Amino acid sequence: MKAQLKEAFQVIEPELWETANYLYAHPELGDQEFESSKRLINILKKHGFQMETGIADRPTAFKATFSSEKPGPTIGYLAEYDALPGIGHGCGHNLIGTMSAGAGVLLSKFLQDIGGSVVVLGTPAEETNGAKVPMSEQGIFDDIDVAMILHPNGNSYQSGKSLAMDAIQFAYTGKSAHAAAAPEKGINALDSVIQLFNGINALRQHIPSSVRIHGVISEGGKAANVVPDYAEAQFYVRAEERKVLDEVVKKVVAIAEGAGQMTGAKLAISNYELSYDNMITNRTLSDAFTANLQQVSELPILPAREATGSIDMGNVSHVVPAIHPYIGLNDSGLVAHTKEFADKTISKEGHEALISGALALAGTGFDVLTNKDLLEKIKAEFAKKVSVVTA
């Protein structure tokens, strides 16, 4: 049957490659991917998927469903299609979206024989305010048995970990005054921000080495001869697990409050982006995907990378068995979030990755649908890992 997947892919390959190239040439930022999502929606509608658009209160999000007349599990493929400002698809989301749509279409061609359903979810704004977060909170994954997404990279890697992350803004309000003539009448909000940075730097030696705290002063005053009455800093705080992150954030907030008390400035704390949970890879599902990718790609598949960044797929992995592997573009020196990376997605290597990726995703979905023991092992692993996280 998997040989027939390759035959079926040849029919849709030109359409997918054309779409990947179009997305590259017409990049759209997060939550503004109107044409990008439309292109993927049109492919799925053409192949008989039932569409829901604007889900999770995100205009460019969608849910495409294809169900057979036979009962069975539901396979979920996640599509991203947002670009980076000034760079375009320097993270390869033009390939991610088309690989997931292609895998969904491929698998749908065999559902009448094997049973089950396939869902392709359009998930906007991964780079900034990832839609997978509200999707996870609103129960959109409740009827999905496994969730998969495949990300381009210089090399192929097995699915691994990601860091939990909170994006926190600290805004201080003080009182302006002439900095030379009457500084004693002012309350310097910028001094609070500076003390916040100093306090966080002192904290670093007392937190796990894997924790990352990095920030900027997004506003610090307008003129040197005016005591700044408003100053603002934005931080990303990251840790390997959500429980560790929550404890670190408590300490950072205490430092921020102390920095305000030191100057008399009032403090307002808010999240300027959605929070991401750490990725919990389902190893059983990951192994099944790796085996399928090895069947269709000659490139080596390396062990999972050390967690460094944060992804909204982490939130998904806390509610449903999930994987987030990487597919190589045969360039170990390739750096993400660059124009060179974007250009690589429409090269010969990008085309090969699109083919191999869609086939491997579809093949893994086929295995889950047809192998009851595999699905039971996936779900047992998920239940065990999630119980540890929530304990």
What single string gives the DSSP state of each residue in 250-261?
HHHHHHHHHHHH
CA-only gyration radius of the chain, Å: 23
pLDDT, average across residues 295-320: 95
Question: Residues of the chain with pLDDT > 70: what percent?
Answer: 99
Q: Is the pLDDT of residue 390 over 80?
A: no
Q: What is the pLDDT of residue 3?
A: 82
Q: What is the pLDDT of residue 391?
A: 55
Q: Is 177 in contact with 156 (CB distance < 8 Å)?
A: no
| pLDDT tens-digit map of 256-277 | 999 999 999 999 999 999 999 9
Whole-angstrom distance, CA of residue 177 vs CA of residue 179: 6
Residues 6+ apart with CB under 8 A from 131: 31, 56, 58, 61, 123, 124, 125, 312
Q: Is 113 in contact with 39 (CB distance < 8 Å)?
A: no
- CA-closest candidate to residue 382, choices 147, 117, 118: 147
CATH number of 2-162+276-390: 3.40.630.10
Q: What is the pLDDT of residue 386?
A: 85
Q: Is the pLDDT of residue 77 over 70?
A: yes
Annotated domain spans of the chain: 2-162+276-390, 164-271
Residue 182: strand, helix, or coil:
coil
Q: What is the pLDDT of residue 72?
A: 96
- CATH architecture classification, 164-271: 2-Layer Sandwich (3.30)
Q: What is the pLDDT of residue 266?
A: 98
Q: Is the pLDDT of residue 184 over 90?
A: yes
Comparing 2-162+276-390 with 164-271, is the CATH topology the same?
Answer: no
Q: What is the pLDDT of residue 306?
A: 87
Q: What is the pLDDT of residue 387?
A: 74
Q: How confident is the model at residue 1 (pLDDT cuts 50, 70, 90)?
A: low
What single string gives the DSSP state of each residue in 301-322?
EEPPPPP-S--THHHHHTTS-E
| pLDDT tens-digit map of 117-141 | 999 999 999 998 999 999 999 999 9
Residue 56: strand, helix, or coil:
helix
Q: Kindly report the pTM of this predicted structure.
A: 0.92
- Where do runs of H (alpha helix) occur along the chain? 2-25, 34-46, 93-108, 111-114, 132-137, 189-203, 242-263, 283-296, 313-317, 339-344, 348-370, 372-390
Q: How confident is the model at residue 389 (pLDDT cuts 50, 70, 90)?
A: low
User: What is the chain's length?
Assistant: 391
Burial of 114 (0-12, 13-18, 19+ CB in 10 A): middle
Q: Is the pLDDT of residue 222 over 80?
A: yes
